[in-house]
Structure 1
Amino acid sequence: METSQESGGGGWTRLLLLLPYVALLWLPFYNDTQPALFGFPFFYWYQFLWVPITSLILFIVYRSMK
């Protein structure tokens, strides 16, 4: 019978899940057009950059909980 407690660690890695929230909700940090990358303003490519970063963070947290 399984218990509700987790068998693996991952306590501190769950804090990594806060990184995308803090990085993307702090709008004054990236509300700018410069520096542009491939013609995209900073505002857009900064948000797109967080898509693979967030996926990597989710993978790390998931693997640490096993």
Structure 2
Amino acid sequence: MSDASEVTKAAVVTPVRVAIALCLIAPFVAMLWVGSYAKTDPVFIGIPFFYWYQMLWVLLSTALTMTAYQLWERDRRARRAATSADGGASE
């Protein structure tokens, strides 16, 4: 009986969780790959590419983090609903 409860509580890789991971990892990859943005052209309203690219990622990171959170909450609610509809058999 304890083996079954351990299996149900184990982390499950789902497409939603993969999407969440990609949303959270993308800003790190973009900022750590300095060679992709270590240049001055194109200039945007007088600001070299190096700077405005990083500032753009501040906004993108915020949007991606919010998306990841909303996906996580939706996944959590769905799992809770599934276990309550199951009659608590997995507990």
> Rg bigger for which structure?
2
Is it true that 1:58 corresponds to 2:65 in the alignment? yes
Q: Percent identity?
A: 36
TM-aligned CA deviation for residue 14 of structure 1: 1.9
Question: Structure 2: which 5+ residue stretches go unaligned?
Answer: 1-8, 74-91
Deviation at 1:5, TM superposition (A): 7.3
Whole-angstrom distance in 1 between the partners of 2:35 and 2:69: 31
Task: Tell me which protein shows more helix as a share of its residues.
Answer: 2
State the superposition RMSD in angstroms: 1.9
Name the SS for the 2:41 alignment partner: coil
1:16 to partner: Cα distance: 1.6
1:21 and 2:28 are equivalent in the alignment: yes
Q: Report how many residues are paired.
A: 61
Matched, 1:11 2:17: yes
Considering Cα pairs closer than 8 Å and 6+ residues apart, tell me whether 1 or 2 has the greater RCO.
Answer: 1
**Aligned CA distance change for structure 1 residues 63 and 5 (closer, same or farther; 3 Å):** farther
* Runs of 4+ residues deviating >3 angstroms: none
Normalised by the size of structure 1, how large is the TM-score? 0.82
